Structure 1
């Protein structure tokens, strides 16, 4: 009798093992991120003094995260991403004191190859994605001219406060929809709720379209902000702030021996009330290139900007050059120089050498 049950028991054990393996294959959780650290000197325009630093995030802001998927069948997956910034120089979380734990991304959603992807929570904005993919220094808040002209504040004291893009590179309380890839063409739409009773019109929304085909790529992005503050930089939202509209276009072409970049941007910040200087109009253009040299690339970028209101204006020329050398697929070292000159102030510049490791 016992011998008759042995084959059945073995078969049941084998089936349980196979089912366990299938369940494991249908879901996954990944720990990922990068650590970036540099040493160098910083001097802001008009400051006259240089600070010598060992700082986090020279080429990119350091971050870590946990993301996962579960196969729900029928080509649909449940997805989540919890991703936050940290500072390697101090071990502190966030980009600055008071920044949340998962401000890079904190969302849950559904993904389908036919119908696209829907994410709920805190999401990176389509406008930010278009900004970083079409300039050679990507999202460096230390050395990228495009980032400075888009997400960093600047001012003529007492006359003009230009906050840059209001609302950060990620939006809380948001819904993000991304289309499937149509032969290289994709689109993303984001909406963030105001979450204030009786003020449903105080909200944020934005979208982009991106096209990638062989060596050529192009993008068009737009966003509108009716509330929120500028979390980065030294200048808060201008007094009397009402609404901000921003539009940007970018193209790249990779000739193999050199990859060329170009961007154009217009930001209009509407300001109400006497004595506030009127609406801010910010226009800038960027050209750049990435040139493969040895195991790395030389990165060059230049941006010209004119910002004005009813009282005054300023012009700004910003340039950067860097060499990024790959020690491996996950580790690189870099040296970079950044120059920033506004017509009403002494120039500023930043230089440094650093290391970045992805995991």
Structure 2
């Protein structure tokens, strides 16, 4: 792990774990995962009231998994990974009630050092990986501004922003990852709609990542199509979201480690296409993020700021979000953290959250 920010891991290492299958090279089966728990207060924008909580997944969502491989000869391995989210605060399966058991990953595939890796099943999307490895608070759904701007909904009463539609993992998908050439890796994903007689209900996307010494960069794209109403969207009954036909998203990110500080930057555009029957029109989301990780003692100070604008044909809102955290390593597998998150959307009261927690990897 990076000496500057061990809990986050090296960017290249995270990408390798999620894509290349490099961690599956051993024979047999491995049990692995992490447990993350924090205590703090949460207030969402516009709610006015704060909830004091002891919740799972402050810095990262808790998960456990079983993975393994078999050497088939000629440089080829059969691989599998069954990976489940869970909640340490109540012992329940999934990120929320109703979430499937192996919602993080559930695939079987083939890996070859010369030809790449093919995975079939439920796969983490390349777009999600590009989102989390180029911001200092990675995939925190409690304290990471980039995750909020990308994967969580937001509204101010006149405009509704659905965030990325289709979740961070896709069912019924094929994921292909190329071998790494000089630090460059490409990943492509396609999710079948499984709608008999109609092939338009589908998802596809991909990313390119490049790591060379202290420098890293990525470019990601995805598109989700719908025949009638959005699938994988729990809030599809929102009147500002009805009539969705397609969503496209593109994102770029860079990072550079100057040793005394590691800097991150991201830019993103998401367009949710709405049918002409909805007078509010298409939803357009634009945002950017800058952040830093500064090594201090056995840990790192993490700081990030994100600015965004969401608009339709009727109105718009702006969003300013920042987070500050300190993550301290007790060992190679256990860290403690303290974090603060602030979120302001035009026209409504700001939200903010704070907490202290512990994370253990096994």
Instruction: Compute the TM-score of the two structures, normalised by the length of structure 2.
Output: 0.90
1:98 matched residue in structure 2: 98
Q: Shift of the alpha carbon at 1:72?
A: 0.6
- After superposition, residues 159-308 of structure 1 pair within 5 angstroms as 159-227=158-226, 228-231=230-233, 238-308=241-311
Instruction: Show structure 1 runs of 5+ residues with no match.
Output: 1-24
1:29 aligns with 2:32: no
Deviation at 1:201, TM superposition (A): 1.6
Cα pair 2:243 2:278 within 8 Å, conserved: no
Aligned-residue offset at 1:198: 1.5
Greater Cα offset, 82-91 or 220-229: 220-229
Q: 1:94 to 1:233 in 2, by over 3 A?
A: farther
Taking structure 1 as reference, are residues 255 and 176 closer, same or farther at Cα in structure 2, changes over 3 Å only? same
Which of 335, 340, 345 is matched with 2:343 structurally?
340
Following the alignment from structure 1 to structure 2, what is the Cα–Cα distance between the partners of residues 163 and 26? 41
Counterpart Cα distance in 1 of 2:288 and 2:334: 31
Structure of higher CA gyration radius: 1
Contact 2:156 2:348 in 1 (8 A): no
TM-aligned CA deviation for residue 232 of structure 1? 7.0
* Equivalent position of 2:110 in the other structure: 110
For residues 169 and 61 of structure 2, the distance between their equivalents in structure 1, rounded to whole angstroms, comes to 14
What SS does structure 1 have at the residue aligned with 2:263? Answer: strand
CA distance in 1, matches of 2:98, 2:46: 28
For the 8 Å contact 2:156–2:345, the answer to whether it is kept is no
> Is the 2:255–2:262 contact (alpha carbons within 8 Å) kept by the matching residues of 1?
yes
Q: How many residues align?
A: 334
Alpha-carbon distance in 1 for matches of 2:201, 2:76? 34
Tell me how far apart the structure 1 counterparts of residues 26 and 283 of structure 2 sit (CA, whole Å).
51
| 1:129 pairs with 2:132 | no
Deviation at 1:274, TM superposition (A): 3.3
Runs of 4+ in 1 over 3 A off after TM superposition: 227-237, 273-276
- Which 10-residue stretch deviates more, 274-283 or 171-180? 274-283
Distance 1:258-1:279 versus aligned 2 partners, 3 A rule: same
CA RMSD of aligned residues (A): 1.5
1:119-154 superposed Cα distances (whole Å, 9 cap, x missing partner): 000000000000000000000000000000000001
Structure 1 residue 327 corresponds to structure 2 residue 330:
yes
Contact 1:152 1:233 in 2 (8 A): no
Which secondary structure state, in structure 2, belongs to the residue aligned with residue 102 of structure 1? coil
Equivalence map 1:43-58=2 (5 Å): 43-58=43-58
Contact preservation (8 Å) 2:242, 2:278: no
Structure 1, residues 220-274: CA drift from partner, whole Å, max 9, x if none?
Answer: 0000001353557898691010100000000000001100000000000000133
